[in-house]
Amino acid sequence: MFIVENYTLAVLFCIVTMLCWGSWANTQKLASKTWSFQLYYWDYALGVVLFSLLMGLTLGSSGDLGRSFTQDLTQASLSSLSAAFLGGVIFNLANLLIVAAIDIAGMAVAFPVGIGIALVLGVLINYFAVPIGDPWLLFAGVFLVALAIVLDALAYRGLSTQQAQTSHKGLILSVAGGLLMGFFYRFVAASMSLDFATPQDGLMTPYTAVFIFSIGLFTSNFLWNTIFMYRPFKGEAVTYKAYFQNGNLQLHGVGILGGVIWCLGMSLNILAAEQAGFAISYGLGQGATMIAAIWGVFVWREFSGAPEKSLLLIKWMFVCFLVGLALIIISRI
């Protein structure tokens, strides 16, 4: 199978992850013009499963290093399979909360708060589990990211009263989703061998772990997304019947594309973890917060009409994120 063999390539993969995780939600924004995020999310989940399977059957089954995808899948222990599966279940609920927050408050609020919290919590959890990197530089970077979250929350308060009231519910959902999302990555990491080239028996390689994770995500969707469909935080309830009657090829394609983009980021991030360490790999990937904020501010114009003070806070948010991510990168050098 293909593996990452140096830290430079690992950082590059994490940067691509950042772009993917910060951009996939644009497909939700496009689809939400004509149907609800709950229906979009079924296609998103399907896209994650399909792409993880494709990665396993191609890059995960090529080369002489490690184990092939099918071989790795058949030898995996029940505890490893369960850990990756549970990671998908936890991620799915967390992601649905953040997707609901995007639908209510927009990308510029939901992503920096939700994913920012997940970044801080996830880095701490994964570092103490597998301590790789300079803790002073790593935690200084995490502190700056946390500061950026606070600045974003203060910036949204400067919006008009109507926008702020709408964003308040979105902010609460973002916080809840971020707290849950900080835990999913550790379960996936625990299911994998720390040596990808000569993996330990019973543990999985990255390709298999991501595939089992995606099965957990899709399966749990029948529970979590059903609740969101019939007990929505915004708007009217939607039914399964609407998915088949109201959808078209373009809408389904947009949702699947969103899942593919996210899963590409996840796959590259997990592959980078052997060289970068799980804490740094996860932390860099969750720099997606900054990418999503850029989309929300400059493309979707979610802060259009905001006072000068809010715009100034947004600028400082970007500065804190950039410096924080730089510190996270050099903590491994």
200-210 pLDDT, tens digit per residue, is 999 999 999 99
Sequential DSSP letters for 10-25: HHHHHHHHHHHHHHTH
**Phi and psi dihedrals of 274, rounded to 5?**
-65, -40
Per-residue pLDDT, averaged over 155-163, amounts to 60
The answer to whether 166 and 130 have CB atoms below 8 angstroms apart is no
3-state SS assignment for residue 227: helix
- Pick the range with the lowest mean pLDDT from 73-87, 107-121, 160-174: 160-174
- pLDDT at residue 161, as a whole number: 46
The single residue listed with the structure tokens 């996830």 is 122
- Could you count the other beta carbons within 10 Å of the beta carbon of residue 180? 22
- pLDDT at residue 49, as a whole number: 98
The dihedral formed by the CA atoms of 294, 300, 304 and 310, expressed in degrees to the nearest 10: -30
The pLDDT-based confidence of 137 (bands split at 50, 70, 90) is very high
The pLDDT-based confidence of 162 (bands split at 50, 70, 90) is very low
Within 8 A by CB and 6+ apart from 98, the residues are 110, 111, 114, 115, 173, 174, 177, 178, 181
Q: Would you kindly state where each structural domain of the chain is located, as residue ranges?
A: 7-330
- Is the pLDDT at 294 greater than 90? The verdict is no
Query: Over the chain, what is the mean pLDDT?
Result: 89
3-state SS assignment for residue 204: strand
188-202 pLDDT, tens digit per residue, is 999 999 999 999 999
